Amino acid sequence: MPTLPPTASPTASPTPTPGGYPGSLGERAVFTYYFYWYDTQTGTHMDAVDPLTDRPPASPPITFRGTTWHRRQIEDALYAGVDVILPVYWAGSVHRFWAEPGVVNLARALEEVRLSGLTPPALGMFYDTNSQRGLDLRTKAGRDTIWAGVRFFFHTVPKHYWAKADGGRPPIWFWSSDVLGGYDSGFLADLSARFEAEFGVRPYLVLERTWVASQPDLVGWDSSYAWFAYPPAFSAKVAEVSPGYDERAIPDRGEMYVPREAGEFYRRGLTEAVMSGAPWLAIETWNELHEATEIAETVEYGRQYLDITREYSAYFKAGSLPAGMRIETPYADNTSVRTVLGPTNTENGLALAPSDLDGLHRAVVKAGVAGRQTVPLTPDSASAYLYFRVDDGFYFNAPVPIRIDVTYYDEGTQSLLLQYDAAPAASAWDADTMYRLVEVGALSDTRRWKTASIELRDARFCGHQNGGSDFRLAAPEGHPLTVSKVVVTKLA
């Protein structure tokens, strides 16, 4: 019998050299909101209970249980250029079954990614106040409740993986204050003191803008941001951008829908984020599949939005766009934009904001001409405005001289007022700048249609006003304001 050669021993796979831990944040950083409440095994936040608008890939199964799905998301976030993942944490006994083990497994997945040879993104905390509706943070009980969740999160996530903002301080982001029963500066001071006593460093507190808008004298916070980035929203620190929005599949919601435009809506927002000069970019969201704001891989879009994010996160961190890149819209080369108002508005680069809160309006006919008329929020309310959004490709964050022409029905005897956004994109909240007040003309109660004009040389039109608007026309106190046409023209 022939002699058989010896059996070859299999070559052992080399053990990868572990990657590093996340370092301190640089001058510019990319954040995204990470929803980890999904579980295919129990149907938690899945179609059986909460209809999804967009679908995750079948593999790996989407679940907060275990590390496999978390690890894929971490690796994809690295690919996309994300520096900080903000897990959306929900507190309370009803949510504990997924909120706490989800953080545990996410922390384990970070370590798995590091041991595979990569440096994972850092983690900050996003405390979703929706889980604490009605909680009064002016009370010890309210403060204890928030602290319990914060303490759990930062004891669970090893310090190696904490995001390090100014002075090595880990960021804690809070969602809207509108759902709370009350809050004050004492809550922020108490939270910071407890955190420093427990962990040896003060947290970096980032508040949704409702906190400061409702209490302008609030102290103890570090930065703010604006949720619902449709259109993009800006603060002094954070440019907030989203790929779109669709709530139509969610029970007991409205019909709000912001189309993705095959990625162009997202590209425009990211372009504005680079142009804004803000040091942080917050992407809303990584994977909120119910509201269809996700950039993560899905059945519907594949990895398209990961690729877009990868491209633009590089521009953002470099602080500049490639030569010739701009905000591309059909009105980018126009010298003027306009809207003609009536039962159905004709909008060409200038849009009347949806009727909401102090911007309610209705269609009317005056002296044979159609227009839109302000409607007070309440019968005794003196505040009523028409809000307008200027196409961003036509005008964004650049003080080019412009003229605004307003065709209005002359009713009443007071001034026709304009408040416009004169604040650069990355600006701290300042009502005097974001709602700069000028008089367009004087009303003389002729009950005829007239046109008034005003030139502005310091407008910025970065969407700082309510609903992402750029300017608003104010109704004379005690009288409705009726407008049929508005034109914005560049003078240079």
d(CA 98, CA 440) in angstroms, rounded, equals: 56
Model confidence at 222, pLDDT cuts 50, 70, 90, reads very high
CATH number 3.20.20.80 is the correct assignment for the domain at 29-318? yes
Backbone angles phi, psi at 298, to 5 degrees: -140, 170
CATH number 3.90.950.10 is the correct assignment for the domain at 336-490? no
Closest by CA position to 274, among listed 340, 225, 319: 319
The string of pLDDT tens digits covering residues 310-357 is 999 999 999 999 999 999 999 999 999 999 999 999 999 999 998 887
d(CA 450, CA 410) in angstroms, rounded, equals: 7
Coil, helix or strand at residue 482 = strand
Locate the domains of the chain by residue range: 29-318, 336-490
Coil, helix or strand at residue 475 = coil
The answer to whether the CB of 426 falls within 8 A of the CB of 226 is: no
**Token code pair at residue 100:** 């706490």
Model confidence at 191, pLDDT cuts 50, 70, 90, reads very high
d(CA 290, CA 107) in angstroms, rounded, equals: 25
Instruction: Answer yes or no: is pLDDT of 7 > 70.
Output: no
The answer to whether the CB of 198 falls within 8 A of the CB of 151 is: yes
d(CA 122, CA 62) in angstroms, rounded, equals: 21
The answer to whether the CB of 124 falls within 8 A of the CB of 170 is: yes
d(CA 126, CA 105) in angstroms, rounded, equals: 17
The string of pLDDT tens digits covering residues 436-447 is 999 999 999 999
Which segment of 142-151, 263-272, 327-336, 475-484 scores lowest on mean pLDDT? 475-484
The string over 392-418, giving b where at least 16 C-beta atoms fall within 10 Å of a residue's C-beta and e elsewhere, is: bbbbbbeeeebebbbbbbbbbeeebbb
Percent of the chain with pLDDT strictly greater than 70 = 96
Instruction: Answer yes or no: is pLDDT of 409 > 80.
Output: yes
DSSP bridge partners of 388: 352, 471
Instruction: Answer yes or no: is pLDDT of 452 > 80.
Output: yes
Regarding predicted confidence, which is higher, 213 or 143?
Answer: 143
Average pLDDT over residues 208-216: 93
| DSSP code per residue over 276-338 | H--SEEEES-SS-TTTT---S-BTTTBTHHHHHHHHHHHHHHHTSPPTT-----TTTT-SEEE
The dihedral region occupied by 467, where left means phi > 0, alpha psi between -120 and 50, and beta the remainder, is left
The tokens 């196409």 sit on which residue? 391
Instruction: Answer yes or no: is pLDDT of 53 > 70.
Output: yes
d(CA 310, CA 283) in angstroms, rounded, equals: 12
Parallel/antiparallel/unpaired status of strands 350-352 and 385-390: antiparallel
| DSSP code per residue over 341-408 | -SSS-EEEBEEEPPS-GGG-EEEEEETTEEEEEE--SSTT----EEEEEE-TTT-SS----EEEEEEE
Q: What predicted TM-score, i.e. pTM, was given to this entire model?
A: 0.91
Query: How many CB atoms within 10 Å of residue 473?
Result: 22
